[in-house]
Amino acid sequence: MFDVGRALAVLRRAMPAWQAPVVAEFARERRDPFSILVSCLLSLRTRDETTGPASRRLFRLAETPAALLRLSSRTIERTIYPVGFYRTKARTLRALAQTLLDHHRGRVPTDLDALLALPGVGRKTANLVLTEAFDLPGICVDTHVHRITNRWGYVTTRTPSATEMALRATLPRREWRGLNTLLVAFGQTICRPLSPRCSSCPLNAVCPRRGVGRAR
């Protein structure tokens, strides 16, 4: 079986040369659960180079749920544009702020089920908030984590949600927290969706490359 622990250790040594995902950068920079949650929501279906500036523009106007709720949807739309689905996200952010104020005293909950009950929050976002905002165990599976762990043959799954469940069953708990940040950086830089850069990959000698057709 693919030695996932050794592979992750190799990637951690290589990671300083790669660009960290924008949410991980915000977590190191701000250490504020609400800011991390908002940047997670803005990042959905949006590239990091757009998410980062949009998040910073919004946080200059509102750093708390109460302050965000004082902004109109139109103001939020103009501020976060051109993130993907910016009009929908503006409405979602206002609903999120209201829910946090009404049910959580304006604080981001630390419980997975409570996070999943928030407007706009799915499993990917909820797990990322747990790990990045609260240093709690969670497995955030996006397209990179899903693709890479299947290429390794460590899991054999069809969807990110199935990958999360498979990883929860097999991946040592000590590896959970930093998995998303590490594999997103790796996936954006080396193990890309199309024509991955296998010749420059630190795992080239051991990776089974399942599902890979053409590589560089």
The set of catalytic residues is 124, 142
* Cβ proximity of 133 and 111 under 8 Å: no
Structure tokens at 6: 């050794």
Length of the chain: 216
Sequence-distant (≥ 6) Cβ neighbours of residue 201 within 8 angstroms? 190, 191, 207
Judge contact between 179 and 164, C-beta under 8 A.
no
Q: Is 136 helix (H, G, I), strand (E, B) or coil?
A: coil
Q: Which residues contact 103 (CB under 8 A, 6 or more apart)?
A: none
Contact 194, 216 (CB under 8 A): no
CA dihedral 51, 54, 58, 60 (to 10 degrees): 110
For the chain, strand residue ranges (E) read none
- Decide: 94 and 68 in contact? Cβ < 8 Å: yes
- CA 163, 164, 166, 170: dihedral to nearest 10 degrees? 130
Helix (H, G, I), strand (E, B) or coil at 100: helix
